[in-house]
Chains A and B, each alone.
Chain A
Amino acid sequence: KQEVTQIPAALSVPEGENLVLNCSFTDSAIYNLQWFRQDPGKGLTSLLLIQSSQREQTSGRLNASLDKSSGRSTLYIAASQPGDSATYLCAVRRSARQLTFGSGTQLTVLP
């Protein structure tokens, strides 16, 4: 059974700092990995999707990497802003139904 762990559970940083969120998974036989952000009381916004054959994806200030062999993914946020404050979730997909979410990292960027 796939298990997805996100560390840290919560993170507070001053504005402008670069930061890294971690996601680890136990089963490397994945289809893809997706990073989401969730604001309080809202749905999930897709940030980056990494297919199993890819090693990284970039979008603006965000960069996500994938190392299947070690079962790890990182989400790098450059020059953080207060608007980046949210819960960040990674989800590992093995098949259409087998999508496993991590418990999330709650990020607070202080102005």
Chain B
Amino acid sequence: GAVVSQHPSRVICKSGTSVKIECRSLDFQATTMFWYRQFPKQSLMLMATSNEGSKATYEQGVEKDKFLINHASLTLSTLTVTSAHPEDSSFYICSATDRANTGELFFGEGSRLTVL
């Protein structure tokens, strides 16, 4: 299957700082990428959908100024958690669907964010 890579896999930061997480599709062009958040022992919660070259669409309750999403190319989307607080600590996962849009979703390995 197609490969989606996320970086970093783990990040620890101080409260008030900003953290950027990258999501790359390695062997296909991703017209659409999704960002999820997962709390311990819970399923994934969709945060936003990003399409290459356009603004992201955020789900209800997700602060767009808090979670900045950029999808500048067909292989890269970034999520920036701005002015992070301890409650932002979570597991963030991205996924992508290919240009042919077969409908299959491919997920990154996830990024564990810990805000001290």
**A interface residues with partner B (beta carbon < 8 Å):** 31-32, 34, 36, 41-46, 49, 51, 89, 91, 93, 96-97, 99, 101-104
The answer on a CB contact under 8 Å between A97 and B104 is no
Can you list 30 contacts pairing A with B, beta carbon distance less than 8 Å? A31-B103, A32-B103, A36-B107, A41-B91, A41-B112, A43-B6, A43-B93, A43-B108, A43-B109, A43-B110, A44-B44, A44-B93, A44-B107, A46-B1, A46-B105, A46-B106, A46-B107, A49-B102, A51-B103, A91-B105, A93-B105, A96-B97, A97-B46, A97-B49, A99-B46, A99-B105, A101-B43, A102-B43, A103-B43, A104-B43
B95: interface (CB < 8 Å): yes
Of the residues A32, A44, A49, A103, contact of B95 by C-beta under 8 Å: A44
Residue B32 interfacial (CB < 8 Å): yes
Indicate if B34 sits at the interface (CB-CB under 8 A): yes
Q: Chain A residue with minimal CB distance to B91?
A: A41
* B110 contact from A34, A42, A51, A103, Cβ within 8 A: A42
14 extra interface residue pairs, beta carbon distance < 8 Å, beyond A44-B93, A49-B103 = A34-B104, A34-B105, A41-B110, A43-B107, A43-B110, A44-B95, A46-B104, A49-B104, A97-B34, A97-B49, A97-B57, A102-B43, A103-B42, A104-B43
Q: Are B107 and A96 in contact (CB under 8 A)?
A: no
Q: Given the complex of chains A and B, what is the CA–CA distance between A45 and B107 in angstroms?
A: 7
Contacts of B44 in A (CB 8 A): 44, 89, 101
A92 to B46, CA, bound (A): 13
Residues from chain B with a CB closer than 8 A to the CB of A51 are 103
Give the one of A34, A42, A43, A89 with max B CB within 10 A.
A43
Within 8 A of A (CB), among B40-78: 42-44, 46, 49, 57
Q: Chain A's nearest CB lies how many Å from the CB of B58?
A: 11
Q: How far is the CA of A51 from the CA of B49 in the complex (A)?
A: 21
Task: Identify the closest chain A residue to B109 (Cβ).
Answer: A43
Q: How far is the CB of B92 from chain A (nearest CB, A)?
A: 10
